[in-house]
Amino acid sequence: MAKWILKQKALNHSAFVEALVNLFQPKQSILSSVIHHDSEIENLLSAKTSFQKLSHLTKLNFTRSVSKPETIGVDRLALAAAATNLYPDKNNLVIGLGSCITYNFINQYHQFLGGAISPGMEMRFKSMHEHTASLPLATKDWNFPLIGYDTKTNLQSGVIAGICYEIDGFIELYNSKYNNLNIILTGGDAIYFARQLKSRIFTDINFLFKGLYALSEFNNR
């Protein structure tokens, strides 16, 4: 039944969520969204579970030492929550690979200090295509040559190798400043990028979901 539900592309979002809730009957739920979503989803989860919508007002398992806490993306809050819950005695740098690449630093005192944001892989490809007169829209190819031999492979090398060097550079800087540093790489392409880095890191593509679970548990004690 679960596999059937997951294959039903014809279901709208609220119907999909309702089918999952009816099948698994969870006692609690948490919603993290940075896009517009059907309000029926929140109504459904509120009616059938102990529901929480992640926002800057949510009770967190860490503190935020930043100038404008309300501007921190909910995805970054979830990553910080996972790091605090799973590695509470370490300085943690969580690198999230998504539309943007986020560098999220949570120290051993459970303080989220901020970090950095840079364009993600797809955004880099699209930006060069849309903001130049003649560069084509390239896509990722993990077998790209370091020395590109045509326009497409030059773009692939610049984007993919560039991201690898960027990540290694940030890790080196944080390692030079903080002892007992734990580094986690997450996101859809994390496993590939981890193989290309010279730094030793943990890779967990489900790290954000572990953070959401930690926050749900934290708020339902």
Q: Could you list the active site residues? A: 75
Half-sphere exposure of 145 (CA within 13 A, CB side): 8
- The count of other CB atoms within 10 Å of the CB of residue 131 is 8
- Count Cβ neighbours within 10 Å for each residue of 68-94 and write b for 16 or more, e otherwise: eeeebbbbbbbbbbbbbbbbeebbbbb
For residue 120, give both structure tokens.
């993600």
Distance CA 98, CA 177 (A): 26
With a CB cutoff of 8 Å and minimum separation 6, the contacts of 177 are none
Query: What gap in Å lies between CA 189 and CA 125, rounded to an integer?
Result: 15
For residue 111, the one-letter residue type is Q
Q: Mind spelling out the 3-state secondary structure of 130-183?
A: HCCCCCCCCCCCCCCCCCCCCHHHHHHHHHHHHHHHHHHHHHHHHHHHCCCEEE
